[in-house]
Chain A
Amino acid sequence: MSQKHRLQGKGRVDHSKPLSFIFNGKTYQGLSGDTIASALLANGVDVVGRSFKYSRPRGIMAAGAEEPNCILQVGSSEATMIPNIRGTQGELYDGLTAASTNGWPNVDKDIMGVMGKLGGSMMPPGFYYKTFMYPQSMWPKYEHLIRKAAGLGRVPKDKDPDTYDKLNHHCDVLVVGGGAAGLAAALSAGRRGARVILVDEQNEFGGHLLHSTQPINGQAPTQWVADAVKELQGLPDVTLLPRSTAAGYYDQNFVTVLERRTDHLGERATGKTRQRLHRIRAKRVVLAAGAHERPLVFGNNDLPGCLVASALSTYVNRYGVAPGNNLVLMTCNDYGYQAALDWLDAGRKVAAVVDSRHSPSGARYQALKARGVKIYTGHGLIEAVGKKRVSGAKVAALSSDGSQVTGAVETLSCDIIASSGGWSPVVHLTAHTGSRPVWSDEINGFVPGESVQKQLLAGGIQGTYALSKVLAEGLTAGRAAADATGYGDISAQVQDAEIKTEDPKEDAAQALFLVPHNKPVSRAPKQFVDYQNDVTAAGIELAVREGFESIEHIKRYTAMGFGTDQGKLGNINGMAIAARAMGKTIAETGTTVFRPNYTPVTFAAFAGRNAHHLFDPARFTAMHAWHVKSGAEFEDVGQWKRPWFFPKNGEDMHQAVNRECQAVRNSVGILDASTLGKIDIQGADAREFLSRIYTNAWAKLTPGNCRYGLMCKEDGMVFDDGVTACINDQHFVMTTTTGGAAGVLQWLELWHQTEWPELEVYFSSVTDHWSTMTVTGPNSRKVLEKICEDVDLSAEAFPFMGWRDATVAGVKARIFRISFTGELSFEINVQANYGLHTWEAVMEAGAEFNITPYGTESMHVLRAEKGFIIVGQDTDGSVTPFDLGMDWCVGKTKPFPFIGQRSWSRSDTARTDRKQLVGLKCKEPKTVIPEGAQIVLDPNHPVPVPMVGHVSSSYYSANLGHNIAMGVVKGGLSRMGETVYCPLADGRVLEAEITSPIFYDPKGERQHV
């Protein structure tokens, strides 16, 4: 196909390198250096999408990040595609495949178009809220259809085959934006030796200079850009990052930058990462993000063929594309005329220029007049004419303040309309850190507000548009940033040569946003403000009439600025229209807040390498390989991978757990307990410290013995438990829950460092230093005796709750006689690297007893048979030791007021009807009550039924032949034998008896043998 709008030989595209691409299923030709948008325009593709609500045909409006309509899904396969690419920023490569994200089933024939045409007035702002929210149950169905019809990109279905990564940087000066101001800033900072990173979102540096015709130093501006880039490349501490968007600006000068490394080469990354997220901490940030030109708001201003004026210059001068033949330009400022001059220079016709000002006289006005162009001063372009493409423009005289049509309407014939409402500084990044932009009447735009960030501004971002001043501000900001970051001494010795350029004389602009129509706003053809969300001037006025006063509320009600473009093109116009409707100034109305990210960032870039199996760090015990080899199923406990159960011969979980539990009670089992937190505590005051932190007494614990302890927060609620061993008077080893280890260490440090620094005590995490295995069951002593010869393991010599230094399987070990199963148990701790060796030796020694490895599920069942709690499962931060029936674990006579103690006498904590831990036995023996089930006293009580508690642990016990459960019940300790009910989601109501939580061996004899 021919590129009918291509200007031969013009622009920065390579006319000798044609590229082929597919858009919405059709094949087209573009050139190397094109964006998708410039190639589409060259081919005369007018309609690139359908609008969100009214399904109107939409064309390309702009040439950069602010483009609202040309939003594409790029990529030919589900695995490689990226949604929400702005066609104005996506670079063309050979074979590129793109599709409109808006428009279903296709952009030319859209089902929703019927609704739009019928609907029109039927779809006011708040339409979705008003129409589809009721009945509420239907909303998911409506939403599905609405999303499908409107669409703002969709998530690809297949796994992304490419690699993404992240890189951290520190630098002296980060310059955001590589246009005139940014290049100048990078030069002056870099020349002084500062470590500079310059980022720019485009494929080449230069910004507006890439399409500007204003000479710099007597040469084409692109020559100055080339020289500047060359000089920067020669500076050793300057890093240039093109194709890199500063996406978010966070506290203390932390900026995230998305670099697209291979997206311009093809849809698969070859040889390197596809995208990279740079995380940059800068001593100074120079913001040189420039400005976006605002279109004017007029009737049917969304017709394909309506563009922003400067975009026209960009397409003509940079891409060699003139997307039409006969232009009508509407402006309220001098700069707008530039597009008409560029259009004429491209050999195209300018039907007329319409200026809302009554007596312009600037240099560009004079130049255009001299070339014989018809100029309507004091006029407005009130309405575009056409169906799927502009075919004319209606023009009428305006009052001097631009608020009313005062003359007859004349229709001009044209096929393209450009408009300029002035410029809006790209303040987005400054707003990310919480600084509110402030309105400037001088430049008719919002400029960055005060900020606590160490940032400097240069150029368009602060409303400076004259090129000579932009360049000067860049040099000044770069130098100031270098001076502030330690290069002040060198600064004075460096000379920045003056950059000479002559700005055309300009008159003051008029503050015009909405061009009035001869009909009132509510009856005029639609005047679009936010193209992505189909927000019109009439919609904003309606929102104000309906009583919305805050710009934040108007935004939410009309959805203005909620698209993937965050209203870059439309927001300021919308705020101006809202302000006028409310009879306020724009300064009083204020602006909404921009949030990260500036343009959409793929999730893959945020994830970087932390995807799939690298999503989160995983911790493995020394015996992990053995567990894998033995067919264990694993469960995640914090970051640990713990064996969950060891199925044999096709067993399911319940069969495996039943077998494991019975093996422990009848012979011997072994558990990998290495993941339990272990904290080594030493110092003269270690014992005193323990007695303050734990609820129970520690004064009399002698070397060679262990004790179970409960830890509470100061509010009296249990927060961890575990066994602590006394190694000697100044040395203890504490164990914590697997998940609580880091939190407990921080807790100990908190009290030591902030309240009791006078205590001599030191803490060290030794969790990973030890491998721990629990050998438990009536035959455990016999197993251990085979491989441990230097310690008398008899009950008399080594009683329950003792510990001994020993040699196990030739390895130095600590053996603890502690039990979480209620059976005779030995917990063997060896230096971690000997874990697997010792485990295998125990397995070999236990073979004759059919020693059975068991996992966390059996561990849970076995401890529940004994009524042992698991902190975090049976407790939830609102349970005291007394609620657990563990009064025995609270020291009554300890001298120091230990942590948590005082809170137990608070009225709420001392209540007798608190939820208390009890055992529960479902009256159907084989039925296991679901954990989390609510407990009620009277299932026939009218709704709402008072809840008196919930089930916290619930299992089937093969050893007992019936279900067992634990739960908390209001006043449960005094309700033994009573019946409670658990109504389930499926309609069943289970009946359960309140019992003691100790179901097995209630006297606790088996662990003492």
Chain B
Amino acid sequence: MLNIYCPHCGEHREEDEFHYGGEAHIARPADPSAISDEEWAEYLFMRKNTRGLHHEMWYHAAGCRKFFNATRHTVTYEIQETYKVGEQPQQGGQS
């Protein structure tokens, strides 16, 4: 069970309190009707499925109800950092 630091609450909390939110830093196309089906499918379905450092969203469901991002190693499950939505990660490359 992971121990996750919520950057909004400023505390480590047990994984039980959180929901996983999938890959982070996927921006919704501003004008969906202007892009092709392929581009839309890219946004909708395609994910990096990274082996290594992965930027992902978490939701503090049983806490502050805020989404935030984490840089987590998908092999070792180490969480290198957590940061607020809108901020950029310090590790694992910019997204």
Enumerate chain A interface residues (CB-CB to B < 8 A). Answer: 250-254, 281, 434, 452, 714-715, 742, 745-746, 749-750, 753-755, 757, 897, 901-903, 905-907
Q: Are A903 and B1 in contact (CB under 8 A)?
A: no
Are B32 and A902 touching (Cβ within 8 A)?
Answer: yes
The stretch from B48-56, B60-68, B87-95 touching chain A is B60-68
Nearest CB of chain A from residue B47's CB, rounded to whole Å: 14
Chain A residues with CB below 8 A from B76, complex form: 434, 452
- Do A754 and B37 touch (CB < 8 A)? no
A749 touches B2 (CB 8 A): no
With contact pairs A906-B41, A907-B37 given, residues A897 and B78 touching in the complex (Cβ less than 8 Å)? no
Contact B61 A251 (CB under 8 A): no
Contact pattern, B 5-29, Cβ under 8 Å of A = 1, otherwise 0: 0000000001000010100000110
* Nearest CB in chain A: distance from B89 CB, A: 15
Provide the bound-state CA to CA distance between A901 and B61, in Å: 28
Q: Are B3 and A749 in contact (CB under 8 A)?
A: no
Complex formed: what's the CA distance from A749 to B44 in Å?
Answer: 19
The smallest C-beta distance from A944 to any residue of chain B, in angstroms, reads: 29
Tell me which residues across on chain B come within 8 A of A281, comparing CB atoms.
3, 14
Shortest Cβ-Cβ A-B pairs, 7 listed? A902-B32, A452-B76, A252-B3, A251-B77, A753-B67, A897-B32, A452-B78
Q: Contacts A452-B76, A902-B32 hold; do A753 and B61 have CB atoms under 8 A apart?
A: no
Please indicate which of the listed interface residues B21, B28, B85 has the most CB atoms of chain A within 10 Å of its own CB: B28
Contact status A254-B1, CB under 8 Å: yes
Residues of chain A within 8 A of B73, CB atoms compared: 452
How far, in Å, is B43 (CB) from chain A's closest CB?
Answer: 8
Known: A715-B44, A906-B41. A742 touches B66 (CB 8 A): no
Asked if residues A901 and B57 are in contact (CB atoms below 8 Å), the reply is: no
When distances are taken between beta carbons in the complex, the residues of chain B under 8 Å from A749 are 59, 65-67
Q: What is the number of residues of chain B that contact chain A, defined by CB distance less than 8 Å? A: 29
Checking B33, B40, B65, B67 against A906 with a beta-carbon cut-off of 8 angstroms, the contacting residue is B40
Interface flag for B42 (CB, 8 Å): no
CA of A253 to CA of B3 in the docked complex: distance in angstroms? 9
Chain A, Cβ-Cβ closest to B77: A251
- Do B40 and A902 touch across chains, with their CB atoms under 8 A apart? yes
Cross-chain contact A746 with B28 (CB below 8 angstroms): no
Instruction: Tell me whether B66 and A251 are in contact (CB under 8 A).
Output: no
Interface residues of B (CB under 8 A from A): 1-3, 14, 19, 21, 27-28, 31-33, 37, 40-41, 44, 57, 59, 61, 65-67, 73, 75-79, 85-86
Q: How far is the CB of A766 from chain B (nearest CB, A)?
A: 14
Are B85 and A753 closer than 8 Å at their CB atoms?
yes
Known contacts A452-B76, A746-B19, A750-B67; A757 and B85 CB within 8 A of each other: yes
Neighbouring B residues of A903 by C-beta, 8 Å: 40, 44
Query: Are A252 and B19 in contact (CB-based, < 8 A)?
Result: no
In the complex, residue of chain B having the shortest beta-carbon distance to the beta carbon of A899: B28
- Smallest distance from the beta carbon of B73 to chain A beta carbons, Å? 8
Best-surrounded residue of A253, A745, A746 (most CB of chain B within 10 A): A746
* B66–A753 CB distance below 8 A: yes
What is the minimal beta-carbon distance from B11 to any residue of chain A, in angstroms? Answer: 12
Bound Cα distance from A250 to B77, whole angstroms:
10
Structural contact, A757 and B2, CB atoms closer than 8 A: no
CB contacts (< 8 Å) of B65 on chain A: these are 745, 749
CA distance A715 to B43 in the complex (A): 10
Sampled A-B contacts (29; CB under 8 Å): A251-B2, A251-B3, A252-B3, A252-B77, A252-B78, A252-B79, A253-B3, A254-B1, A254-B3, A281-B14, A434-B75, A434-B76, A452-B77, A452-B78, A715-B44, A742-B61, A746-B19, A746-B59, A749-B66, A749-B67, A750-B21, A750-B67, A754-B67, A755-B27, A755-B28, A757-B85, A757-B86, A902-B32, A903-B44
> Within the complex, what minimum Cβ distance (angstroms) separates A404 from chain B?
44
Taking A252-B1, A252-B79, A750-B21 as given, write out 11 further A-B residue pairs in contact, using a Cβ cutoff of 8 Å, ordered by the A residue number: A251-B3, A254-B3, A281-B3, A281-B14, A452-B73, A452-B77, A714-B28, A742-B61, A749-B59, A901-B32, A905-B37
Q: Which of A754, A757, A902, A907 contacts B33 (CB 8 A)?
A: A902
Quote the shortest CB–CB distance from A268 to chain B (angstroms).
Answer: 32
Please, which residues of chain B bring their CB within 8 A of the CB of A907? Answer: 37
Q: Give the complex CA separation of A757 and B66 in angstroms.
A: 12
Q: How far is the CB of B36 from chain A (nearest CB, A)?
A: 10
Would you call A906 and B37 a contact (CB within 8 A)? yes
B91 CB to nearest A CB, Å: 14
Tell me which residues across on chain B come within 8 A of A252, comparing CB atoms. Answer: 1-3, 77-79
How far is A281 from B79 in the complex, measured between Cα atoms in Å? 16
> Which chain A residue lies CB-closest to B32?
A902
Q: Could you tell me if B57 and A754 are in contact, using CB atoms closer than 8 angstroms?
A: yes
Bound CA–CA A897/B85 (angstroms): 22
In contact, A897 and B77 (Cβ under 8 angstroms): no
Which B-chain residue is minimally distant from A253 (CB atoms)? B3
| Bound CA–CA A252/B72 (angstroms) | 12
Chain A residues with Cβ below 8 Å from B3 are: 251-254, 281
| Chain A residues within an 8 Å CB radius of B21 | 750
- Least distance between A347 CB and chain B CB atoms (Å): 53
The answer to whether B85 and A250 have CB atoms under 8 Å apart is no
Q: What are the residues of chain B within 8 A of A715 when measuring CB–CB? A: 44
- For A906, list chain B residues within 8 Å (CB): 37, 40-41
- Interfacial chain A residues near B75, Cβ < 8 Å: 434
A617 to chain B, nearest CB (A): 12
Q: Which residue of B lies closest to A753 (CB)?
A: B67
Bound form: Cα–Cα A685–B42 in Å: 30
* Most chain A CB inside 10 Å of its own CB: which residue of B2, B19, B65: B65
Q: How far is the CB of B23 from chain A (nearest CB, A)?
A: 12
Report the bound CA distance from A906 to B35 in whole Å: 11
Q: How far is the CA of A750 from the CA of B85 in the complex (A)?
A: 10
Determine the chain A residues whose CB is within 8 A of the CB of B19 once the complex forms.
746
Docked CA distance A902–B43 (Å): 11
For A742, the chain B residues whose CB sits under 8 A away are 61
**Residues B33 and A897 in contact, CB atoms below 8 Å apart:** yes
- Shortest C-beta distance, B67 to chain A (Å), equals 5
Task: Give min CB distance, B37 to chain A, whole Å.
Answer: 5
Chain B residues within an 8 Å CB radius of A905: 37
Instruction: With both chains docked as a complex, state the minimum distance between the C-beta of A84 and any C-beta of chain B, in angstroms.
Output: 25
A165–B77 Cα distance when bound, in Å, is 28
Assembly CA distance A753 to B33 (angstroms) = 23
CA distance A903 to B35 in the complex (A): 11
Instruction: Report A681 CB to chain B, min CB distance, Å.
Output: 14
- Name which of B2, B67, B86 has the most chain A CB atoms within 10 A of its CB: B67
B61 touches A746 (CB 8 A): yes
Chain B residues contacting A754 (CB-CB under 8 Å) are: 57, 67, 85
- Residue with the highest number of chain B CB atoms closer than 10 Å, among A746, A750, A754, A755: A754
Bound: A715/B59 CA distance, A: 21
A742–B32 alpha-carbon span in the complex (Å):
28
Residues on the B chain within 8 Å of A745, using CB: 65
Tell whether, in the assembled complex, residue B1 and residue A250 are in contact, meaning their CB atoms are under 8 Å apart.
Answer: yes
Chain A residue nearest to B21 (CB atoms) is A750
CA distance A81 to B66 in the complex (A): 47
B5 CB to nearest chain A CB (Å): 11
Q: Which chain B residues lie closer than 8 Å to A434 at the CB level? A: 75-77
Are A714 and B44 CB-contacts (below 8 A) given A254-B3, A746-B59?
A: yes
B7 CB, min distance to chain A CBs, angstroms:
13
Q: Which residues of A contact B31 (CB under 8 A)?
A: 897
Assembly CA distance A745 to B67 (angstroms): 12
Residues of A within 8 A of B67 (CB): 749-750, 753-754
In the complex, what residues of B have CB within 8 A of residue A250's CB?
Answer: 1
Min Cβ gap B58→A in Å is 11
B77 neighbours in A (Cβ, 8 Å): 251-252, 434, 452
Q: What's the least CB distance linking B86 to chain A, in Å?
A: 7
Instruction: State in angstroms the CA–CA spacing of A910 and B10 once bound together.
Output: 47
* Cβ of A601 to closest chain B Cβ, rounded Å: 16
Question: How far apart sit A902 and B73, CA to CA, in the bound complex (Å)?
Answer: 33
Shortest Cβ distance from residue B35 to the other chain A in the assembled complex, whole angstroms: 8
Contacts of B33 in A (CB 8 A): 897, 902
Bound-complex Cα distance A190 to B44 (A): 54
| Residues of chain A contacted by B32 (CB below 8 angstroms) | 897, 901-902
